[in-house]
Each structure stands twice: as C-alpha cells, then as structure tokens.
Structure 1
C-alpha cells in the first residue's frame, strides 16, 4: 500500500478533486433531501439518507430516482 506522501503530485491532485466532487454531490443531495417534504420523496427519507452516502452512485440515484 502506497502512502499519500508517496503518490505523485498529479495523482494526489486527482484524488483530492474526486473527493471534493463526491463530498459536494453528497452535500447537495442531503440538503435537497432534508428540505424536501416526505410526500415528494420516492420511499423513506431515512433509506435515501443512507443511499446518498454510497460514493458517486448514491447522490446520482437520489437525483435520478429519489425525488418525485
């Protein structure tokens, strides 16, 4: 296993950029979920809150199938 400090600078930047995108998507999805009434959500809000936590797939699923 390579340590963070052992990675090339470009790879560290790419990982940091992907992490920022992931956190941004999840934050946007959780914010949307929190502000949306339960009647406008396809399924239980608690289940969607957990699904959103799954890497890129969760927020994408929320924006595609979670909202009415």
Structure 2
C-alpha cells in the first residue's frame, strides 16, 4: 500500500531520492551514448531506445540498452 512521503523515515526518504538520482544518471548516460552512436551501431531504431528514457523502469531499460541494444 502506498503511503505518504511524510510517513517515511529519513532513511527511506534518502534511499528513494538516491535511487531516483541513480536511475536519472543511468538514463542520461544511455541517452548520451545513444546520441554518439551511428544507427548501424544500435539494434533497433534509436528513437525507440530514446523513448524508453521516459518510462520509469527502475533502471531496467537502460540496462537492457547496454546489454542488448548496442552492436559491439
């Protein structure tokens, strides 16, 4: 059950903020890498990978890009 921000402990708030910062940084690194690569170096359309940055994925979609979306 979802609670309110005020109901969380200081440690829980810090963890949520830290995870949000980490996910944002991971998505930024993904988008920078995607911008620098040629389309031939990416599996699938670049626009589709870029659009995944709009989805809250707990870092799974950027990880999928780095594992499967790039042609080595």
> Do they fold alike, i.e. is TM over 0.5?
yes
Counterpart in the other structure of 2:20: 19
**Is this contact kept in 2: 1:26–1:53, CA < 8 A?**
no
Q: Can you give the 5+ residue segments of structure 1 that lack an aligned partner in the other structure?
A: none
* TM, length-normalised to structure 2: 0.84
TM-score by length of 1: 0.88
The total of aligned residue pairs comes to: 68
Deviation per residue, 1:11-68 (Å, 9 max, x gap): 0000011001100100000110011111101010011112244321110010001100
Kindly report the root-mean-square deviation, in angstroms, between the aligned alpha carbons of the 2 structures: 1.3
Matched, 1:57 2:66: no
Gaps of 5+ in 2: none
